[in-house]
Structure 1
């Protein structure tokens, strides 16, 4: 993948990637019937890290790693904790407690929180369109959940996902800060932060939840999530960024909420009422407006 793809090819490839990322929610929900959430998340990203590790030994990447300063290592370690240990750990925990669509919808809070955090941390101020998107998203969330009636599991799940959204938002701002400096190659950022975060998550999972016998089917799911939905999807997504504009990437990425809803309905039996569907669409448009000024996901950053 050395040449930039044609515009149509880039759009189709980007849609393929969002589809792969959307299937992750369904696969994870199925796998959680056998594998505890933290152990599951740790296994997925540890395997993905092992797949990407050989790239750390190329001449260019090894040179970058050798020249990393102490402050670079501190940022990468913090990114590993935030994005992999906390964000992915809470996402898997959330999926064990909540419907896939609810988790997906809650994750769409991320660009809103990033927009606010960016004001104080990296001096980026939202546009009027982005503020309108914030209001629209909140209206969509209210429409989706009204009237609010959460069971104990749903309540705990929402708290867990809220922690995850803030961790995801903080990692997004930190990731943008690292990439702004343009000193570290994106693949190096990914390999180091994923290695640190995934191993920590795996160890925590083993200590607190154990490692149960895993069926052959779930081994296949793990390999698919790690190799196809993480390593390969990441590579294809970065390839499409050479051609697509920030707006196009944001719009395509925003289709995931709908894709996840359809896949969860087909494979998990998670039905969506008319009111929930309307709320979801309003929230999706709100999240899109918030992201329109932003660049697409930075190279080296995984979406799902």
Structure 2
């Protein structure tokens, strides 16, 4: 491949990745619209991921390589994929949908953006990764940003408190599933599509069953079914497939930066379509969190002196 072709394919991958983050950002607006139309939050989430699982399933079962990979799964592999499905879909996504029924989209996005910081704390205390002074600065910056956004505390209604609790549960579950998913991918070497499809099937079906039992199915009109179908087919199944394709071209740093653009994207979309306004103080807080998390996330990819061969 010539230099010009490489440059062109790299630019296409960047644009595709940005498009995926835009699709994922629009999910928050569509979810809020569905929730405002009185769709039961857990049932809504369960429908999205169960349908997305059904969309991904043909890509797995009609691929002989993936079928052979599934046949080779051990009982331990199946248990790990089930636990990943429970963590990342049933708990994380269920908590996010529940939280969105009480909180503004931007507030929840800000909380979930702290996943990187939470994972960094895990790496620090488990001694899996040495944290530099620069990364500590990023963590401190993110904490200051959170304080700027939420303080001073106003008298919070009980439903908003429930939303914050659900959001924190979603944050912690997201961090744990991120660590656990990384462990599965590095240890088992199962194809990412197979991992996603199976874990999504377990988690989505469990979430749907929980939602129907606790909240009922709800009455969906044609517009609400279109929202569910779009979220499942386009924003989940298609977006995941396209994102995986971009990872074959983009570096980890580039993917991290592009993924980090979701916070401002969601804030802008929520302002345009959900009438969620932000004060100057809140915008400043969000900016600090965004910069802080990017520092923590990207600094690990910057080579340090210890990795260099000493001169003789």
* TM-score (structure 1 length as normaliser): 0.92
> What do you get for the CA RMSD once the two structures are aligned?
1.6
* Aligned-residue offset at 1:294: 5.6
Once the two structures are superposed, what CA deviation does each residue of 1:125-144 show, in whole Å capped at 9, x if it has no partner? 33333222111110101011
**Rg larger for:** 2
CA distance in 1, matches of 2:205, 2:184: 22
* 2:37 aligned with 1:31: no
What's 1:292 paired with?
Answer: 298
CA distance in 1, matches of 2:9, 2:48: 32
CA distance in 2, matches of 1:293, 1:190: 28
What's 1:110 paired with?
Answer: 115
CA distance in 1, matches of 2:195, 2:217: 29
CA contact (8 A) 1:34 1:214 kept: no
Once the two structures are superposed, what CA deviation does each residue of 1:12-53 show, in whole Å capped at 9, x if it has no partner? 111111111000000000001231100000000000000011
Pick aligned residue for 1:241 from 236, 240, 247: 247
* Aligned-residue offset at 1:238: 1.2
* Aligned-residue offset at 1:119: 4.1
CA contact (8 A) 1:144 1:280 kept: yes
Once the two structures are superposed, what CA deviation does each residue of 1:106-141 show, in whole Å capped at 9, x if it has no partner? 001111111122345582333333222111110101
CA contact (8 A) 1:143 1:275 kept: yes
What's 2:215 paired with?
Answer: 209
Pick aligned residue for 1:7 from 6, 10, 18: 10
CA contact (8 A) 1:130 1:292 kept: no
* Aligned-residue offset at 1:202: 0.1
Aligned length: 293
Superposition pairs for residues 269-288 of structure 1, below 5 Å? 269-288=275-294
CA distance in 2, matches of 1:30, 1:161: 18
The SS at the match of 1:117 is helix
What's 1:250 paired with?
Answer: 256
* 2:253 aligned with 1:229: no
CA distance in 2, matches of 1:237, 1:129: 29
The SS at the match of 2:249 is coil
Pick aligned residue for 2:56 from 35, 52, 59: 52
What's 2:79 paired with?
Answer: 74
* TM-score (structure 2 length as normaliser): 0.90
CA contact (8 A) 1:118 1:173 kept: no
* 2:131 aligned with 1:126: yes
Once the two structures are superposed, what CA deviation does each residue of 1:227-280 show, in whole Å capped at 9, x if it has no partner? 110011111111111222211111111111111111101111001111111111
Aligned pair in 2 of structure 1 residues 84, 12: CA closer, same or farther (>3 Å)?
same
CA contact (8 A) 1:84 1:194 kept: yes
Q: Which deviates more from structure 2 when the two are superposed, residues 11-20 or residues 178-187?
A: 178-187
CA distance in 1, matches of 2:98, 2:77: 30
Superposition pairs for residues 179-190 of structure 1, below 5 Å? 179-190=185-196
* Aligned-residue offset at 1:78: 0.6
Q: Which runs of 5+ in 2 are unaligned?
A: 302-312
CA distance in 1, matches of 2:15, 2:141: 28
* 2:173 aligned with 1:157: no
Aligned pair in 2 of structure 1 residues 76, 257: CA closer, same or farther (>3 Å)?
same
Pick aligned residue for 2:267 from 255, 261, 268: 261
